[in-house]
Structure 1
Amino acid sequence: MKPLLLLFFLSTSAFSQVQWTKIPADYQLFPRDEKNSAEVEFQFTSKTDTEIQIQVYGNDQLLNTLKESVKANTSNSIKIPIEAKPISYDFQIKIANESITKRGIVAGDFIVMYGQSNIKALSGIDHFKVDTKYLRNFDTKNPAEPYSWSTADLPYGSVGVIGLKLQQLILDKYGIPTCILNAGVGGASLYSLIPGNGLNYQTLMDRVEKSGAKGNVKAIIWRQGEAETCNWYMDIIDYPILFGQFMDHINKDFPEIIKFYNIQTGILHCNQMEEAGQLREYMRSTKYLFPKVETTNMHHLPLSDDVHYSSEAYIQTAEELLPLLGRDIYQDQNLPEIHPPDIQKIWRNAMGDTLILVFEEGQKIQYPTPKTINGFTWKMEDYFYINTITAHQDGIIQKAWAEENRVYLKLNWPINGGFVTYLPSYATSSPPKQEVHLTNSRGLRAMSFYQFPILPMLPTPRITNIQKLEPGKIRLTFSDKGNYIVERRSLTSDGYTVLVSLNNADSYTDEVDLNQRWEYRIKRVDEFAQSDYSNTVSHIPPPIVEDFAPRNIMQNEKGPFVIKGKNFGTEKGKVNEKVEILTWKDSEITFNLSSTFLPGNFNLSFETADEQTFTVQINVDALLPIENNYLSIAYPNPVSTKYLNISSTMDILEMHLILPTGQWQKLKSKKLGKHDYQIDTEHLSSGQYILLLQGQKEKEILRFTKY
C-alpha cells in the first residue's frame, strides 16, 4: 500500500493546476521591519484562468478575506502584511479547486547564538516548560535531513535553555515573537568556529540563509573559551588574532546586527593555567576593541560539573541578558547597572599605600563581607592579586571597601606601581567555586580583569570659590592653574556629566539656569595620570513658594498645611517652634501647628538645610473661637458641581462666606426643606472656603473645597 500511496501523491502533484514559487512554511517567522510588521508573500502560476481566495486568521479569528482573479500562465504575487505581536497567523488558500492551509506564521526577530556547549545549554531543557505558541526554531534533528520550521521546543529543544528563556522573556516584556538560531557546538575551539576550519560556520550560515534571516539578524550571543582554557596555553596566546579574524567574518556576513554579546568565560579547574586569566582579560576588552561588542559574564552562577552550568544558571543568564537586549533592540531604558561593573582605571595615591579601582560612572559597587562555608572563610581581599599571580597571594591588602563606583584597597606596605588582577586565573576545586565577588546594586558580578595597570595620582585640586554672575552664569575658581576636567550634576540627575577639559586654567564660567541647583567637582589630569576628585561646591537657588494652603484658618485648627514650590532641598530644615514638620521635599513641605495662634495675620519662617530662609503667612479668623456642635453638614465636599447642599438641625438665618483671600461676603441660599439649603458655587474659583452659619442662638463654621 505504501508505494501506491506515494504514486498517488506524485500523480496529484503532477496534475496540479497551480505551481507555487513562494509560499510560507508552517510556523515560519518573518522578520519585522521598522514599522513592526512583515509581509507574507505568495508567488504562483496557474495553468487556467481562475480565482484565488486567501482567508487570513489571527489567533484563530478571521481577520480578512482576499479574492483576486488569476490569468492562466501568468506569474502572480500577493503580499499580505502581518504584525509583530503575539499573533499566530493561519492562511487558508483556495485556488483552481485546490485548498491549502498554512499555520502558525508569526512576525518578529532573529537572534543567533554561537560558541560552545554553554551557549547550546541543553541541560534541563526537557523539564523547562514554556508556551512556545509564538516562539520559533529553524533546525533539523538529523544533518542528513533538510531544515524545517517548528515551535522553539522542537526539534529536541535545540534553541537551548538560555535561548528558550530569552525568547519567553522578550515576548512577555516586549510582545515580540522571536526565532533563535542556536549553532553552538560542544567542545568547539575558536579556531574550529571560524570559516575555512571545518563546517561549523558554514552550517550556521546555511541555516541563516535558508531561514530568511540573512540581513535580518538583530543580535549575536557568543559564549566560548572553555576549549582553550582546558587545553594548551598557546591556544590562549593565539586567541586575540583568531578572534579578530572571526569578527571580520561577523562584520562581513552580519553587517545588520545591533550588538554582539560576548559572555566572558568562567573560572575553571580543568587545566590550571595562569594564562586563563589573560584569556578572560582579552574577552573583557573586546567591547573596547570592536564597535558592536557588549560584554557580560556568568561568574558565581552554579555549575553542574567542571565546565557546564545548571539549568538555573542558564535561566539567570537569559534574565541578565534581557535588559541589554531591551536597551539595544527594544528601545528600553539605558540604566547604568544593567551591565556588570567593568574596570576603567586603577589609581595609586601619593603615599603608594592605597589603590583606587574605578568602575563605570553610575555603578554602585557592593563589597562583599567574608563568607564561611564548610569551615573555610572566603574574603574578597584574598582574590585581588597585586603584582603577583594566582599561585602566590602575599596578603598585601590590609582592608578594602567600596564607595559609589570605586573600590579602595588599603595596603600593608606601599608600592610604586605595577598591576592588579581581580579573581584567580583558575579554581583549585572541582566543580569550581568562587564564593565572593564584587557586584553592583542589581547583583551583577564585576567583569574579571587580569594585570590591569596601576597609574599614579596627581595632587587633589580644590575649588576655592563659586560665584553667581548675572545673567545665568556661575564662575568656579580653582586653587591653582592646571589641566582639569570639570563635571556637573543637577539635583535630579543620576550622576555627574563632563562639561569641559581645561588646559592651564584656574577658573571656569558655566552658563546655566540659576533657578536650578547645581553641584560641581573637578579633577586634575595629564597624559598619563589624574587626581582624585576635588571638593564639591553647589549653586543653591533661593526657595520659591508657589502655593500655600490653607492660608485662612480657624483659631483651633492644627493642619495639615501644604507649601508647594521649589528649591526647598531634600533635607529637613529649621522651623518655628510652633511648627511640626510632617514631610520635607524639594518641591513640597507639609506641617501641623503645634500650638494655637491668636486671631490675626502671622508669618511662619522656614530655613532650608542650606541656610536660606522663606516665610508664609497664615490668617487666623478674628471671629474664632466658635464651638462646633456638628449641627450641620455640607455636601458634596469637595464640590465640583454647581451647587453645595447644607443640612442642619438649626434654623439658619444668615450665611457668610470667607474667601481664600480672607474677604467676606454674605450668601443667598435656596431653601429646599425645613433645614435643607442650597448655595450656588459655580462662580467660585478652586480653593478652600469657610462658611459661617448663624442660627437663632447658635453659630457654626463649615469648611469646603471647590474643585
Structure 2
Amino acid sequence: MRKIFFGFTLLFFCPGVLAQVSFTAAPSTLQFYSRDTATDSCSVSISGHVDKNATAYSELKVKTYRNDTLTATNSRTLSYSGDSAAFSLDIGIKAGLYNYKYEIYGVNGTTETLIRKADSVVCGDVYIIQGQSNAEARMYDGSASENNSPFIRVFGSADTAAGDTLWRIGQGDGDMQTMGNVGQWGLRMCKLIVDEYKIPIAVFNGAHGGMAIQYFQRNDTRPDTQNTNYGRLLFRLEKTGLAKNVRAIFWVQGEENANIAGNISTYKKWFTELRSDWLENYPNVKKIYVFQIRNGCSTLADRIIIIKEAHRQLGEDYSDVPVMSTSAQVHESNNCHYPYTGGYKLMADNIYRLVRRDFYGASYAADIEPPNIKFAEISGKSEITLYMKRILDSLIWDTAWSDTDFSFNVSFVTVSGGATYGNKVILSLSSSATSVTNITFLGHQNSPEPFVLNRNGVGAMHFYQFSITTAKYRDSVSVAAILAANSITKPVDSVVTYSGNRIVAINLGGMNIVTIPSDIGFVDSLKSIDLSNNLLTDLPREIVALSPSGFLNVKNNHLCGLSDTITAWINSFAGDTTWKITQTVDGSQVCSGTNVIFGKSKKAGNFSECSYLHNRLTIKFSDVSDRHEVRIFVANGACVAAFYPRTGIADIDISGLRRGVYMIRIKTAGNYKTFRFCLM
C-alpha cells in the first residue's frame, strides 16, 4: 500500500525539492473533498514541515485556480525551530462544477520554487453503493456512457485485492475489477445530481456479485481489515478522510439469500446489524435506500417473495430506510440482471426522485415512491380492495397480468380481473372472498412487469401473506396513529363518533395536537373534524382527500402560510374564511399580513364602527348618552389598557402596544362586544 501511494505522490513533487518539504496533508490530482452543506463549501488542508538543511525557504505560498483562473493566493511565513519549520493552511473552496488547481511554492527572497501541483480537485457530496451484482451494475445490454462526467469521482475499487488507492473519474460499464467503476444506475443517478444541482459526486461502490448478506458483515474486532468486504470499503473511505461525510447508502442485495432459502426474520436480523455498523462507521448517513429485488435469477418466486417481504418490512421498521421497487424494470436475457434502457436507467431515475427530495430540497410530490400496501379489505362478495400507503397517488392497472401473480391462503380463490381507483387496487376474484384471510403479491416470474404502477411508472412493491382487515380497523388504526404522534394516551373511542362500523366524526379540539399524520386520509367516512384550539402549524396534503361536509373547525391554531390547496379545502368545508383570523405564529404574534382589525363593522348593541389608522384605534358609538367602556387584553387574558370615552367617538393611541394579538372588549349600555385585534 505505502509503495503505491508514495509512487503516486512522486508524480506531483518537483524532484529537486522533494527532500526539503514533507506533507502531512495536501490535495492530489482528481481529489474529492466533501461539501459542508451549511456553507456549500469545502476546506482544503495543506500542512507539513520544511527541512532547513536543504534550501531554507522563508515562506510557503499556495496559488488556487478555479477552472484555470487564479482566484486566491495564500502564504505562510515559516518559523524554524531547530532545522524544521511547520506549516498549516486551510483554504475554503465553493462547491459546484469547478475544477480547482493548486500550486504550492517555496519562497526564498524573490525566488519561487514549485514544490507540488494538484489539478482537477472538486468539492461535493459522498455516497456508497453496496450489494450484489445489480449494485455492481456492469454493462449487460447497452452502454451508460451518456452519463459520463468529469465531476463524478471514484477512489479505488471493490476488487478483493484492495490495492488501488487512486482517485479516478467514474465510469459505469465496467465491473468490480474495473478502475473507476460506479455501475450503470449509479453513474446515471450521479449524473442527474450533477446536471440539476451542479454538485460533484463521489461514489464508493463495494458491491460483490453472488454473495449473501452475511458476506457484507463487519468484523467487529477489526472493522477495517482487508480480509472482509466491509473492511475494504471502510478502508477506502477512511483513507480519503470521507468516512464521516457519507450522506446515504444504497443497498441492492437479496437474490443469493433467496437462492439459499432465507427467511424474513433472519434476513432482517443481518440487515439490522449491518445498518448499526454503517451508522457507527459512517455517522452522518441520513438515509439507507433499499431496492426490493425482482423475481428471476433462476430462483423460485415463492423463495424470492420471502426476501422481498423482508425488504418491504425494513421500510416499515426504520424511518431512515426508504424502499424502492424494481418491479417496473425489464430483465435482460439472463433474467437476473438488467439492460441499460428500461433497466438500470429506470432504476436510477426512480431512486433519484427520492434523493432529490431527501437531500436537495425538492418539494414533496405524489407518485415518486413505489405503491406499497397499507390495508387489504373484502369490499364485496367476490372483491378485495388494496389500499396503498400514498393516499394522493394515482395508480394504473396494466393488462399484462396473470392469475398466478396473486395468491391467497385458500388455493381455490384466484384473481380474475382488476382495476385501480386513486390509490386503491380493486381485485375481482374467481369465487367468494369469505374464506380469504391473507393475500400475497408475487409478481411475474421473468416476463416484463408491472401491471400495477403509479403515474411516474414506478412499479408496486410485492408483499407476502398480508392480512385482510376491515374498514373499521382501518379507521381505528388511522386515528390511533394521530394520537400516538402527539403522545396522547386516550383510547380511540373517546375522541370519535361511529355510525355503524365507520368513524364519522373526530374530536381533537383543545388537546395540544402538534401534528396530524397523513393517516387521517384513510378515514374516508369522516363527516365532522374538530382540530380547533391546538398547536398545529400545518396539515398533511392527504387531508384534502376527505370531505367533512358536516363540520370542520381548525380555529385557534398556528396555521400560517398554508398551501393554496389546503387553504381552499378548509375554505370549502369550514363554510367561510373566518378561521384565518384566529391563527397565530406563537400564540401572541399573528400570521404575516397587514395591520387589520378582524371582524366586520356591524352594529352590536350601540356599537357601530371600529377602524384603525396610523397607530390610532377609532371606535364610534351610535348613542352618545350611554356610558362606554373599552378594554384591551393580551392573549393570556391580562388587561393592558382601559378607556372610558364620554363622547360618541373613542380615539385611542395604541402606539405603545407591541406587535401581537389582542382582544378588544367594548361595553355599552350593558352589552358586550369582543373581537380579535391583530397588530403588526
**TM, length-normalised to structure 2:** 0.64
| Alpha-carbon contact 2:505-2:529 (below 8 Å) kept | no
Aligned pairs for 1:356-375 within 5 A:
356-370=385-399
**Residues 413 and 432, structure 2, Cα contact 8 Å, conserved in 1:** no
Q: Indicate whether 1:455 and 2:494 are aligned.
A: no
Quote the residue 1:38 is aligned against: 42
- Secondary structure of 1:345's counterpart equals strand
Output aligned runs, 1:294-333, within 5 Å. Answer: 294-304=322-332, 305-312=334-341, 313-333=343-363
C-alpha deviation, 1:324, in angstroms: 0.7
Query: How many Å separate the matches in 2 of 1:521 and 1:199?
Result: 46
Classify the secondary structure of the residue corresponding to 1:123. coil
Report the Cα offset of residue 326 of structure 1. Answer: 0.8
**How many angstroms apart in 2 are the aligned matches of 1:49 and 1:314?**
54
AA partner of residue 228 (structure 1): N
Task: Give the Cα separation in 2 of the matches to 1:402 and 1:200.
Answer: 44
CA gap of 1:14–1:32, structure 2 versus 1, over 3 A, is: closer
Map 1:526-605 to 2 at 5 A.
Answer: 536-537=548-549
Question: 1:409 is matched with which residue?
Answer: 427
Deviation (angstroms), 1:459: 10
Paired position in structure 1 for 2:30: 27
User: Given the superposition, is the C-alpha separation of residues 41 and 200 from structure 1 closer, same or farther in structure 2, using an over 3 Å criterion?
Assistant: same
Structure with greater proportional helix content? 2
Is residue 254 from structure 1 mapped to residue 282 from structure 2 by the alignment?
Answer: yes
Q: Name the counterpart of 1:51.
A: 59
Of the candidates 363, 367, 376, which is equivalent to residue 337 of structure 1?
Answer: 367
Alpha-carbon contact 2:148-2:187 (below 8 Å) kept: no
Spell out, residue by residue over 1:330-389, the C-alpha distance to the aligned partner (whole angstroms, 9 max, x if none): 11112232111110111224x65332211123343434242xxxxxxx43555221225x
Equivalent-residue separation in structure 1 for 2:507 and 2:198 (angstroms): 40
Cα distance, 1:265 vs structure 2: 0.8
Of 419, 428, 431 in structure 1, the residue corresponding to residue 438 of structure 2 is: 419
Matched residue, 1:91: 102
Query: How far off is 1:290 after superposition?
Result: 2.3
Letter in 2 for 1:16: A
Partner Cα separation in structure 2 for residue 342 and residue 481 of structure 1: 26
Conservation of the 8 A alpha-carbon contact between 1:46 and 1:74: yes
2:200 matches 1:177? yes
Label 1:157 to 1:499 Cα distance change in 2 as closer, same or farther (>3 A). closer
Aligned to 2:272: 244
Amino acid at match of 1:368: W
**What is the correspondence of 1:33-182 to structure 2 with a 5 Å cutoff?**
33=36, 34-47=38-51, 48-72=56-80, 73-96=84-107, 97-123=113-139, 128-140=145-157, 143=161, 145-153=163-171, 156-182=179-205
CA distance in 2, matches of 1:519, 1:273: 38
Q: CA deviation at 1:270?
A: 0.6
Q: 1:395 to 1:201 in 2, by over 3 A?
A: same
How far apart in 2 are the matches of 1:11 and 1:161? 38
Distance in 1 of aligned mates of 2:500 and 2:302: 46
Measure, in 1, the Cα distance between the counterparts of 2:236 and 2:507: 50
Conserved in 1, the CA contact under 8 Å of 2:497 and 2:504?
no
Deviation (angstroms), 1:539: 7.0
Q: Check conservation: 1:236, 1:276, Cα contact below 8 A.
A: no
Distance in 2, Cα, partners of 1:15 & 1:255: 37
Counterpart code for 2:362: D
Distance 2:318 2:235 in 1: 25
1:281 aligned onto 2:309: yes
Deviation, structure 1 residue 100: 1.9
Residues 121-180 of structure 1: CA deviation (Å, up to 9, x unaligned) = 111686614342222110157836341111113954411111211111101111111100
Deviations 1:22-75 (Å, cap 9, x if unpaired)? 111111111111211110010021222422222111111111222332223232
| Runs of 5+ unmatched residues, structure 1 | 371-377, 462-475, 489-494, 513-517, 523-532, 542-565, 571-707
SS in 1 for 2:352: helix
| Amino acid paired to 1:299 | S
Q: Is this contact kept in 2: 1:402–1:408, CA < 8 A?
A: yes
Alignment-mate amino acid for residue 454 of structure 2: N
| Deviations 1:87-127, CA, capped at 9 Å, x for gaps | 11001111153432111111111100000110111116866
**Structure with greater strand share of residues:** 1
With 433-442 and 19-28 compared, the bigger mean Cα shift is at 433-442
Match of 2:453, SS state, is: coil
- Larger displacement relative to structure 2 (293-302 or 215-224): 293-302
Tell me if structure 2 keeps the 8 A contact 1:189–1:228. Answer: yes
Q: What letter is aligned with 1:99?
A: I
Structure 1 distance, partners of 2:216, 2:207, is 9
Count of residues in Structure 1 that have an aligned counterpart in Structure 2 = 488
Q: 1:55 to 1:272 in 2, by over 3 A?
A: same
Deviation at 1:308, TM superposition (A): 1.0
Identity %: 22
CA distance in structure 1 between the aligned counterparts of 2:263 and 2:92, rounded to whole angstroms: 49
Cα distance in 2 for partners of 1:460, 1:346 equals 9
| Counterpart Cα distance in 2 of 1:169 and 1:137 | 17
| Inter-partner Cα distance in structure 1 for 2:169 and 2:39 | 25
1:347 to 377, 380, 386: 377
- Once residues 417 and 18 of structure 2 are traced to their aligned partners in structure 1, the CA distance between those partners, rounded to angstroms, is 85
Contact 2:135/2:251, CA 8 A, preserved across alignment? yes
Which segment is superposed worse, 97-106 or 188-197? Answer: 188-197
Which whole-Å CA distance do the structure 2 matches of 1:217 and 1:460 have between them? 39
Q: Do 2:328 and 2:458's aligned partners in 1 also have CA atoms closer than 8 Å?
A: no
Q: Distance between the aligned counterparts of 2:165 and 2:183, measured in 1?
A: 17
Distance 1:121 1:250, change over 3 A: same
> How many angstroms apart in 1 are the aligned matches of 2:403 and 2:218?
43
Question: Cα RMSD between the aligned structures?
Answer: 4.1
Contact 1:49 1:71 in 2 (8 A): no
Provide the secondary structure at the position in 2 that maps to 1:212. Answer: coil
Q: Distance in 1 between matches of 2:318 and 2:546?
A: 34
The one-letter amino acid paired with 1:81 is G
Shift of 1:478: 6.7
TM-score by length of 1: 0.62
